[in-house]
Homo-oligomer: A and B are copies of this chain.
Amino acid sequence: MISVGIVGGTGYTGVELVRILLRHPNVQIKALTSRTEAGMRVDAMFPSLRGLTDLEFSNVDQDVLNQCDVVFFATPHGVAMKQARDLVDAGVKVIDLAADFRLKNTTEFEKWYGMPHACPDLLEESVYGLPEINREAIKTARIIGNPGCYPTTVQLGLLPLLKAQEQLVQFDTLIVDAKSGVSGAGRKAETSLLFSESSDNFKAYGVKGHRHHPEIVQGLDAISQQKGWFDQMIFVPHLVPMIRGMFTTMYLKLTEQGKQADLQALFESAYATESFVDVMPAGSLPETRSVRGANQLRIALYRPNNGDTLVILVVQDNLVKGASGQAVQNMNLMFGLAETTGLEVVPLLP
């Protein structure tokens, strides 16, 4: 059994980790920490867990965490980078669901997150936890920076094009129009996230700059070997009045080769062996509810009017493939388990 610690268990990625790991056959949750709720039973805060666990939130006890095999950070940014050193030194693997180990460039990190990075050396060592791209590196990593939700959809939506032998699209024309359910903003008591403010409403946000923008560019640059294609990428996120779900619509100009190519076949082939990426049949219209609660991402391709624009539609559950599910997928890789272990939940529809 893998001993697991979860730091920051009161947010949505934390309780989602608990939901998944309670049914993971190879895991035992040893500790679930919360600065504010120490001593409270987990199922008193999250009644969905009644009958399933006797865990209590605890203060961070370094000794306990050091005895874990892996520690997940489901905290705001800035926490994991301060605690990672001790854990790594104690031989504990670290998976950070926040942003501390996503941006490799510490200047960029400081610019977007407003604080200097606390452990640049570990940052350099850490692996970006997108299994479909970095599977081998993840297997041996000591520290994982678990990807952001938007970046997961964009990178997996473009990966087959980036890896294609020919240049099928003009990558510098990329426009990302993304839509997220409200849980993506976390379990924070903010007025704008109130039911009475965000229900029956639709809005854009972060148009002037969103923290996932540099992460997306870094990821795409890495895959494309730093060609600078994405320096002018447009990224406009929107807020949807639903709890879970992320829908990303991408627009790219096709090259002449791209117009000749069978992109549907390219994508199907690229993901043929992936358990958690589904290339839908031509003509499909993905819906966020088709992945509710499941570690699944679905992609559909369109070329409207047979013209020169490619439209890529991607859906995922922002809390699963976009966060906690992907974190468990990473853990499975790190511990030599089948990648799907504990992640076979069927989406909840309706």
A208 touches B251 (CB 8 A): no
Q: A195-B199, A200-B199, A346-B49 are in contact. Are A293 and B293 (CB under 8 A)?
A: yes
A240 touches B240 (CB 8 A): yes
Q: A19-B348, A241-B241, A348-B348 are in contact. Are A290 and B48 (CB under 8 A)?
A: yes
Q: A201-B287, A234-B304, A278-B50 are in contact. Are A196 and B346 (CB under 8 A)?
A: no
A341 within 8 Å of B (CB atoms): no
- A349 proximity list for chain B (CB < 8 A): 15, 19, 46-48
> Residues 35-56 of chain A: 1 if any B CB is under 8 Å from the residue's CB, otherwise 0?
0000000000011111110000
Contact of A200 (CB < 8 Å), options: B19, B48, B251, B289: B289
Chain B nearest CB from A340 CB (Å) reads 11
> Residues 215-250 of chain A: 1 if any B CB is under 8 Å from the residue's CB, otherwise 0?
000000000000000001011101011111101010
Q: Which of A116-124, A143-151, A306-314 contacts B (4 or more CB under 8 A)?
A: A306-314
Contact of A202 (CB < 8 Å), options: B194, B240, B302, B308: B240
B346 touches A203 (CB 8 A): no
Q: How far is A189 from B197 in the complex, measured between Cα atoms in Å?
A: 11
Contact of A194 (CB < 8 Å), options: B189, B247, B284: B189
Interface residues of A in 249-287 (CB under 8 A from B): 249, 251, 278, 280, 283-287
A60 within 8 Å of B (CB atoms): no
B201 touches A289 (CB 8 A): yes
- A177 proximity list for chain B (CB < 8 A): 177, 249, 251
Q: Which of A79-87, A179-187, A328-336 contacts B (4 or more CB under 8 A)?
A: A179-187
Q: How far is A284 from B205 in the complex, measured between Cα atoms in Å?
A: 9
B286 touches A204 (CB 8 A): yes
B19 touches A346 (CB 8 A): yes
Chain B nearest CB from A70 CB (Å) reads 20
